[in-house]
Structure 1
């Protein structure tokens, strides 16, 4: 969940250039409503800052500071399913995709209020998985569903695969996704309690306590005992953060950062 002071679902354009998702193009998201099949109103021409930046096809970052040399695979007993707001696919600053770069068991599903993803619904019915919806425990109407991090160990000891479902969007979008997705209503709610403050500086957070999607995932990995995967994702996030920030200033990093050096060392092992 990414902190943001505005809801991008209410705007006609994003603040960065739209990028093609690996499964579909950004434009196809808007041509027809997925539930009714009816054509959608035409969008205004995209003329946002960054729309002509040359980007790497692998990491989607500006080629000036490509992230590909620092991509390292990690293993985690827990898995991640990202339920992603459609507009997040168009944002190069989205950090949810960093999780999939590190953990190849990660799956991404696009959220539509009236057309839930069939594969996700099938996964939720699969007894092998024990999914948890990651969401704050700040409302009383679902207090009976709230569990602690120890529940992850319990399902793992019972032979099931723990899964963290992260609502990938702004906080406003995430709250709407949580409330408007009845197929999630039966899942245990796992709030992330952490004193960690965000290091994400590509978007302006409403609060320093609001972590971006990759930071949430790294902290969940750490708290559930997957410390090596957590450290790798943390370093990969820092490398992404620094590379993108430098590229915005049209500056090429002179030397790898400490996080980048650690990732290269991991990759050479």
Structure 2
């Protein structure tokens, strides 16, 4: 159900009466960064570091989830430039996703627990991911981005996922995500799931960068709720800032070499 505009007439108000003052949601006066959407005081952009990976991540996101500011799926796309994001609609699957699922370059795996009935024969382990990688195909982790209830609905009501191998995340890791209350500490957020899968698949640097970026998001977002900022840089912040510095040096060196080559050519 869509809410009516507070300034527009509705069935239970008098159209002739003057409109009520404009509604201001909580946080509407906060000046936000246009890139990361966090308050400028807690901007995430200085800590954004790109990383390459041999595996890919595709996010199949519930339409409600994509509007939540605490969603961590977007952090994956910030770190891994080849990440694909699709919005899930039960009756209208994304045509581009369907095309990619048919692309022989990729070996997609649906990341989902193996504690449900009806698909035991499809469950595989990380060894299958490594096996596909050795044959020259690009392993893809398809993450169902939403609450557990939403993820189950996506899994059960998406026929195009029904033939794909199911990869459960096997880990003893405990969640450090604290922006939403989880049912259990072993329920990881989307970015944490991606980081753990990347690490198990051998993409260690990408996993480390994503873990640090998620931690910084946690700290900065939590601080923004208090209209404050972390008192001092955390270890994760320091590592990302150092990585940003290394990236800047590499870009500067690349530009210098390009200018030299151009001068020699002339």
TM-score range, shorter chain: 0.7 to 0.9
Q: Flag the 1:258–1:153 CA change in 2: closer, same or farther, 3 A.
A: same
Q: Flag the 1:209–1:48 CA change in 2: closer, same or farther, 3 A.
A: farther
Alignment match, 1:104: 81
Q: Flag the 1:192–1:47 CA change in 2: closer, same or farther, 3 A.
A: farther
* Superposition deviation, residue 48 in structure 1: 5.3
SS in 1 for 2:58: strand
2 CA distance for matches of 1:48 and 1:134? 36
TM-score, reference length from structure 2: 0.83
Q: Flag the 1:48–1:168 CA change in 2: closer, same or farther, 3 A.
A: farther
1 CA distance for matches of 2:115 and 2:27? 37
* Superposition deviation, residue 108 in structure 1: 0.3
1 CA distance for matches of 2:233 and 2:168? 35
Out of 127, 136, 140, which is 1:163 matched to? 140
How many aligned residue pairs are there? 229
**TM alignment of 1:31-46, pairs within 5 A:** 42-43=2-3
Q: Flag the 1:109–1:247 CA change in 2: closer, same or farther, 3 A.
A: same
Alignment match, 1:259: 236
* Superposition deviation, residue 59 in structure 1: 1.1
* Superposition deviation, residue 88 in structure 1: 1.4
**TM alignment of 1:208-227, pairs within 5 A:** 208-227=185-204
* Superposition deviation, residue 145 in structure 1: 0.2
SS in 1 for 2:231: coil
* Superposition deviation, residue 255 in structure 1: 2.3
Out of 217, 234, 246, which is 1:240 matched to? 217
TM-score, reference length from structure 1: 0.82
Q: Which structure has more RCO (C-alpha within 8 Å, separation ≥ 6)?
A: 1
* Superposition deviation, residue 107 in structure 1: 0.6
Runs of 5+ in structure 1 lacking a partner?
1-40
SS in 1 for 2:118: helix
**TM alignment of 1:1-269, pairs within 5 A:** 42-43=2-3, 49-269=26-246
Superposition RMSD in Å: 1.3
1 CA distance for matches of 2:143 and 2:150? 12
